[in-house]
Amino acid sequence: MPRFPAPALSTSTVVTTVLAAALGITAACTAGGIGKAEPPPVTAPDTRTPAASAAGSALTAAQAQAALLTQADLGSPWAPTEGVATWRDGLLKASTETPDCQRLLDALYADEPLGTPTGTHAVAAFDNGDDAAQLRYQVLDRPAADVDRSLAWLKKLPKTCAQFTATTTRAGTQRVEVTDLGLPAVGDARQGLRVVLTGRNSDGDQTVLTLDVAAVRVGGTAITLTDGALGGISSDATAQTAQRGAQRLAEIRRRARVQA
| R_g of the chain computed on alpha carbons | 18
* Cross-strand partners of 194: 179, 212
What would the pLDDT profile of 231-240 be if each residue is shown by its tens digit? 888 888 899 9
The sign of the dihedral angle between the CA atoms of 39, 201, 19, 217 is negative
Strand (E) or helix (H) holding 165: strand 163-168
User: What is the C-alpha separation between 58 and 41, in angstroms, rounded?
Assistant: 30
What would the pLDDT profile of 72-85 be if each residue is shown by its tens digit? 999 888 999 988 88
Residue 31 has pLDDT above 60, yes or no: no
DSSP string of 54-83? GGPPPPPHHHHHHTS--HHHH-TTEEE--S
User: What is the C-alpha separation between 29 and 67, in angstroms, rounded?
Assistant: 36
pLDDT band, residue 58 (cuts 50/70/90) = confident
pLDDT band, residue 57 (cuts 50/70/90) = low
What would the pLDDT profile of 156-209 be if each residue is shown by its tens digit? 999 999 999 999 988 899 999 999 999 999 999 999 999 999 999 888 889 999
> Counting runs of H as helices and runs of E as strands, what totals does the chain give?
6, 11
State residue 202's pLDDT score: 81
Would you kindly state where each structural domain of the chain is located, as residue ranges?
Answer: 26-37+49-259
DSSP string of 101-155? HHHHHHHHHHT-TT-S--SSEEEEEEEETTT--EEEEEEEE--HHHHHHHHHHHH
Torsion of CA 202, 98, 112, 236, to 10 degrees: -70
In the chain, % of residues over pLDDT 90: 58
Residue 55 has pLDDT above 60, yes or no: no
Residue 93 has pLDDT above 50, yes or no: yes
Torsion of CA 252, 257, 259, 260, to 10 degrees: 140
pLDDT band, residue 32 (cuts 50/70/90) = very low
User: What is the C-alpha separation between 149 and 75, in angstroms, rounded?
Assistant: 33
Please state the φ and ψ torsions of residue 212, each to the nearest 5 degrees.
Answer: -100, 135
User: What is the C-alpha separation between 135 and 22, in angstroms, rounded?
Assistant: 15
Class of domain 26-37+49-259: alpha beta
